[in-house]
Amino acid sequence: MALAGHEDMGRLPHVRFWKTTRFDLSLERPLVMGIVNATPDSFSTSQPLSSPAEVIAHAQVLLNEGADILDVGGESTRPGAQPLTHGEEWLRIAPVLDELLRWGKPLSVDTYHPQNMQKALDLGVDIINDVWGLRQPHAMQTISSSQCGVCMMHMHAEPTTMQIHPMQEDVIEALTTFFQTQLQLTDQHQIARNRIVLDPGIGFGKKVSQNFHILKFQKLLLQFDLPLMVGWSRKSSLGHVTGLDVSQRLIPSIAAAVLAMERGAGILRVHDVAHTVAARAVWLASV
């Protein structure tokens, strides 16, 4: 994609509220989404969370640290991860959702299984965060029958192979084409635009250079007048350019988060909530 002639794309999206099941979330400042992983191979914490009680306790910590949204996931989508059945995923996340819904805070579910989308929506969750961007059979119909918020992420290929054969085409062009296609479909299914957030999918089937190209030209993705959710937290691309292990990537993660905010991100999906909230406060004081 030619980058000339896009001077007007640096504007913020017109949508200033993200409409979800129970909340209209203001986007006057970037929102911090805390990652609550009920997976045995998560790097959300120094040690895997092996029981629903431990996952719930971690969610309470993130909320106390200032998370605006909690995002619960039961299946790892890191490169090479093996998929779960929808039943296996539901067994991991159901008891967590039951408790977190009682807290009266915005709650997201990270799932691409339409069966679990529907079960979560029946419970009353606010947001479906779908790494497949509503491309699984029946996912679009499931979202259209609800009033939830939805995050549509771009992923090249699928988790077991996405980094073995990463995308080769121009990444901004590919993202633009993908979002155009999916938004045409959401329009056809009468999913209101004020329910939708877009995620460029940092690390999902992209080379290191492509991930940083997205960060550099992130403002071009504001052309859709929709909020952007960005997830740089602890990603391997940060380790590639710094040489730091995943447990040492706090500072690079915060640096990427601040740059993402500067370039128009409306939601930051992170592991380190307290530090991100502090960085956001500094950024807000300067704008």
> Does residue 234 belong to any structural domain of this protein?
yes
Q: Is the pTM of this model over 0.85?
A: yes
Taking alpha carbons only, the member of 266, 276, 171 closest to residue 216 is: 171
At residue 229's C-alpha, the angle toward residues 107 and 285, to 5°, is 95
Query: Would residue 228 count as lying in a domain?
Result: yes
* Count of domains observed in the chain: 1
Across-strand partners of 199? 153
Per-residue pLDDT for the chain (287 aa), expressed as one digit of tens each? 333 333 344 445 555 899 999 999 999 999 999 999 998 765 544 555 669 999 999 999 999 999 999 999 999 887 777 889 999 999 999 999 999 999 999 999 999 999 999 999 999 999 999 999 999 999 999 999 999 999 999 999 788 888 888 899 999 999 999 999 999 999 999 999 999 999 999 999 999 999 999 999 999 999 999 999 999 999 999 999 999 999 999 999 999 999 999 999 999 999 999 999 999 999 999 99
Residue 270 domain-assigned (yes or no) = yes
Asked whether residue 274 is domain-assigned, the answer is yes
Distance between start and end Cα atoms, the chain:
30
Residue 6 lies in a domain: no
Q: CATH number of the domain at 155, please.
A: 3.20.20.20
Q: Which domain holds residue 117?
A: 30-39+49-76+83-286
Classify residue 101: in a domain, yes or no. yes
Q: For residue 159, give the nearest of 39, 78, 74 by alpha carbon.
A: 78
In a domain, 61, yes or no: yes
d(CA 76, CA 28): 31
In a domain, 16, yes or no: no
- CA–CA dist 30, 258 (Å, integer): 10
Phi, psi of 269 (to 5 degrees): -95, 115
Residues marked as catalytic? 235, 269
